[in-house]
Structure 1
């Protein structure tokens, strides 16, 4: 099966590093015209230069910012075919007892992991509906299917919410030729936050984690990119509302 995206226009968020960057690279290699978005101005610019893509610096936790980004891409390209919501993360937080969680901590994680995906999907919907075509992939997490290894209540809750959003939008957008799916990665050492988490387990904890994975290895950003490209492809036109665990069998 050959997957190509010639003449397709893609937007990938969280693309300054890690999983988002790997998905953007795979799309560019497969012929798509790719736009990258991230809060990290230097990182997203470097990724865009390396991939021959367009960079956008944006905090997408508000409807206004999401609409501005989509409108900018539509003005430049005349279309938006593929949307990958890969932005997210723990926003520097660590697992703590629920009594210690502030409202701002809770809302920051939801804004990064759920709000941006909702607002970007909302902003992209009119153009995709008019075209009668669209592919949306939300990068969720194993934490959206079970308790999170991070121990962060907001992160597990937000990723569960992203899974729910995926299924709801698949139902709503399906009649318009738009599919919505999610890839749920297992543990991937893809950015400084996951590196810190990995180090925090220590040698014994790292060994236990790997022994709990059928393939006895951690995932890579490219593992997640390969699964995402299938959902974005023409070949997945009758696949929607699905959550694919890409975790070496841990789930």
Structure 2
């Protein structure tokens, strides 16, 4: 029960890596605040997450909110902290490459609008939620923040744009800098850098690839498979737990050895 009596706010929690993380945390006793911008996804996810709590004592509250809206985020964090008394864990799971129609576009092909959309989608929500939760965690003198970067942020993705790489590189740098800022306040800040992960959003793109392309991706991965959302969520949960109390400023590549 690593998360007994912990309040965990998870963005993009209704599907993908966010949902897989919520599933583990609620099963280990957390009160999970599942934030998403799609009511239909929340309506489907919340009952399933509550069932995952089992007898752990974990609880789930679904909140419809746009993590890219500063006013909305500030109000969300204030209400959660006031209602629950603390926010022990923040998982910034908003992000991705498919927010534009051409996620594999080269730099030459990218338009400025596409560049700006990818940068904003992958950086702004992480900044806004973190910015809002810092005063809460400082008052507590404790907290765990886990961000989602990508191997693209290390220049290691063959299937994503330079805009996505720049945004996720920004997450890695933001994580490192924030760890220095917040360490004296007892707040840990870390990130994961996933390779291709077969979430609901990515799986359709994966299935459109040829068998040869899929086989090539698997062949260059030492563990000889692509990741599932739970593979990423397990590492997030490690970083959010007491097991990582002396880990901060780190981005862990969760890539099967790629």
Could you state the TM-score of these two structures normalised by the residue count of structure 1? 0.94
Residue equivalent to 2:124: 115
Residue equivalent to 1:87: 94
Residue equivalent to 2:244: 236
Residue equivalent to 1:163: 172
**2:200 matched to 1:202?**
no
Residue equivalent to 1:76: 83
3-state DSSP of counterpart to 1:98: coil
Deviation at 1:65, TM superposition (A): 2.1
Deviation at 1:245, TM superposition (A): 0.6
Contact persistence 1:184–1:245 (CA under 8 A): yes
Residue equivalent to 2:160: 151
Whole-angstrom distance in 1 between the partners of 2:106 and 2:126: 27
Whole-angstrom distance in 1 between the partners of 2:45 and 2:220: 33
Q: Which moved more, 1:30-39 or 1:68-77?
A: 68-77
**2:64 matched to 1:66?**
no
Contact persistence 2:152–2:160 (CA under 8 A): no
The one of 82, 107, 110 equivalent to 1:101 is 110
Whole-angstrom distance in 2 between the partners of 1:93 and 1:71: 35
- Structure 1, unaligned runs of 5 or more: none
Whole-angstrom distance in 1 between the partners of 2:217 and 2:105: 21
The one of 2, 5, 8 equivalent to 2:6 is 8
For these two proteins, the number of residue pairs brought into alignment is 247
- Structure 2, unaligned runs of 5 or more: 51-59
Could you state the TM-score of these two structures normalised by the residue count of structure 2? 0.91
- Across the aligned residues of Structure 1 and Structure 2, the Cα RMSD in angstroms comes to 1.4
Whole-angstrom distance in 2 between the partners of 1:148 and 1:227: 20
Deviation at 1:147, TM superposition (A): 4.2
Contact persistence 1:11–1:82 (CA under 8 A): yes
Contact persistence 1:181–1:240 (CA under 8 A): yes
Whole-angstrom distance in 1 between the partners of 2:171 and 2:178: 10
Deviation at 1:97, TM superposition (A): 3.7
